[in-house]
Chain A
């Protein structure tokens, strides 16, 4: 018996070895792909359908002539299209419409898109021309809904809100794409003299199975089911969401304390899960907010004597129909939040701020607002103009608000509020919510391997100046006094470098919890930073959680390093509204760790519509959760007899 067992073990072993060797003759596996996920909500499916195994003949499309050839002569399908978008051959809506036709005809069964940074394209945004318009302040207003007068995001293709019935992957490693083109396209599949290539052709197999389907309700129902087939109930879908990170000076200590809210966002949503640099939108706003928070640190006492609090909020889930702010407003309505609506005196939101050269536009809502609010808004915008220096703060021409979390608050109650952005009536950012929104051109002078940036550069200078104006205005609005504040330009430089270029740097290392892993980037991508992609709400104890990083950044910006506190004391620190966060600290050689004491807190950003019995019903809330990394793509030669698969 033992011998038999050993024998079967040995045969398995030898079998595995031989098969590997053989599969090397058949397949090449490619690295560096990022998959487009499915997203489900109550009614619909968005994103890309997965496939257990989609096999298609490779066709490389990088110019219009090939596109034409493919349209007229390609009959050896189904195909996998490899598209290389360039300035001369942009990935336009028209091209996608053509591909959709191919998908319907079953001529194309998967799509690969290259991604080599934003030097290759001029503009691209998969977001709609009017982001989040279904759930914004004006959705019930016939004359303003759906951005009738304004198209914020002119180049928007709206693909983020569409459903594709094929797997779509982005390939971001140049050498791998080159290998594929060399071996697969040039040697085999490229039509020579306009003649179709001879069999055998080279095909691509994509494995990216997603287990959820139909819509959120169906997916959740299936998750709970135990069937004969799966044996145990498995999680098919997990809810999308991200925590709202909050901090304050000094925090509303009394019921009658007035509050100024400063808002920004920290996550974006792109077509591909791991390719979300989110530089201008939303990180430029977040970095400015952190700079403002840091500059106001010394003013805590004055604020307290004036009975004012400044509360900073960073929202995660805003790209999906204002998920986080809606949740916050919902909780505020139900008295589940530490601030009451009556306390809010003013809301300042920092939107995209890195795009313009020397001006910032102030957007206020002018539709259906009362005289008192209009006057208050005017007073605020005047204050901003008053404190502006080299960078002019101008009033925007539009009378509706651009996409902003402020809209969620205004939907519920009237409050003075201003959105600061680099654009007037349409975005300056040509890459809104896309994988190209990197701002790397602005950072090109900074060497990649720096751990500390000790000099300023134009973008940092600009952000610092904007932050300075904002800080002084907010201080003045809160206390009616003027005070010169200095924004730490080196801090801003380092923030920009760490968050947009290389996140393994001193600043971040100092402020993260001791067990946190910074090197969670993906090598060979155009940037080596975290992915600022809105997905499933992660546990904060996860060592690579982006939410934890933002929490640390906020704690560092609004808190103080305390030297004489042990780890135990730090973790149980709770005085007033301040808590401790145990981090690496800057005395890194001693490897002891330090405690940051600040007023940080976080608020769940999960949709209130998650509970099916809830009355609060119409929210985008779920996501398919085949959350294992999809299997790597394999490429292979496949023998196809021409004529066997002709369509039409």
Chain B
């Protein structure tokens, strides 16, 4: 039973992200490189957050403090990575051209580098998957068993809530990356600000899970509302439209 719980939770949290990785990222080596680099940037954000947590001894027990700064560091590293990729764009293009003798402007790789939305998707997925892995890996290892949560009367929805939240954050990070890179391209900075606020909002709501008893519905519902809003927004930003969907579906 606990083994089933483990696989259920793992697939729920990482299933969509892994399929995206396989179908979008894994096809091109350049995307994998950008993916790994992006997750490294998320790790740097984690490092700085933990250093801060480690240094400020009196506030160690206060989750909210660490959480807010962690969100800010993550957003900062998102911007830093944008800067890096922007600077590296020409170099990357050159590399692609050198690698493929006689490659023309329309080759797949070059297209990718020029298509900022796709690149943002790859980098955002890396951000999301890394943060998701860190959030869930301990919980997953405990879910193998032989026991499950609840000996002191805790809700037995703990594992499924954790997986649902992890899934939401993986996708949210992907959408936010797409939104904020497009906004940075257009220099429309208020959108970046909205993303930061969204991130803070979603993260701070998870603090409700720390209460006794935890209010899982109060965390999950707004997280998924944010997910839907961000998803539509990212879709629109990337040039999607209702007629596009209709055309895709063949109406």
Contact = CB atoms under 8 A, between A and B. Distances in A.
Decide whether A and B are members of one complex.
yes
A3 interface: yes
Q: For A183, A200, A635, which residue has the most chain B Cβ atoms within 10 angstroms?
A: A200
B141 to A, nearest CB: 7
Nearest to A53: B146
Interface stretch (A10-18, A528-536, A537-545): A10-18
Interface stretch (B26-34, B90-98, B131-139): B131-139
Given A15-B138, A22-B139, A638-B2, A205 B154 contact: no
B149 A641 contact: no
Nearest to A636: B147
Interface string A1-28: 0010011001100110011001101111
A600 interface: no
Given A25-B158, A638-B2, A640-B1, A11 B134 contact: yes
B151 interface: yes
Given A27-B151, A202-B151, A638 B156 contact: no
A203 interface: yes
B151 A26 contact: yes
Interface string B134-174: 10011101100111111110101010000000000000000
A637 interface: yes
A640 B4 CA distance: 12
Contacts of B54: 10
A25 B2 contact: no
A28 B137 contact: no
B22 to A, nearest CB: 26
Contacts of A27: 147, 151
A186 to B, nearest CB: 13
A380 B41 CA distance: 94
Contacts of B154: 25
Interface string B111-139: 00000000000000000000000100111
A583 interface: no
Contact of A637 (B47, B134, B150): B150
Contacts of B107: none
Given A6-B47, A7-B47, A26 B1 contact: no
Contacts of B137: 15
Nearest to B50: A10
Nearest to B2: A639
Contact of A638 (B134, B146, B152): B146
How many chain A residues sit at the interface, stated as a range, is 20 to 34
A14 B134 CA distance: 10
B157 to A, nearest CB: 12
B147 A637 contact: yes
Interface string A605-648: 00000000000000000000000000000011111110010000
Interface string A185-214: 000000000000000101101000000000
B1 A638 contact: yes
Contacts of A11: 46, 134
Nearest to A6: B47
A640 B3 CA distance: 12
B215 interface: no
B142 A23 contact: yes
Interface in B38-56: 43, 46-47, 50, 54
B210 to A, nearest CB: 11
Contacts of A15: 137-138
Contacts of A55: 146
A433 B5 CA distance: 47
Given A7-B46, A10-B50, A200-B148, 15 more contacts: A10-B54, A15-B138, A25-B149, A25-B154, A26-B147, A26-B148, A202-B151, A203-B146, A203-B147, A205-B147, A637-B148, A637-B150, A638-B145, A638-B148, A639-B148
Interface of A: 3, 6-7, 10-11, 14-15, 18-19, 22-23, 25-28, 53, 55, 183-184, 200, 202-203, 205, 635-641, 644
21 contacts: A6-B47, A10-B47, A10-B50, A11-B46, A11-B134, A19-B142, A22-B149, A25-B151, A25-B152, A26-B147, A26-B149, A55-B146, A203-B146, A205-B146, A635-B151, A636-B151, A638-B2, A638-B147, A639-B2, A639-B148, A641-B1
Q: Can you list the 4 inter-chain pairs with the closest CB atoms, starting with the nearest?
A: A636-B147, A26-B147, A639-B1, A637-B151
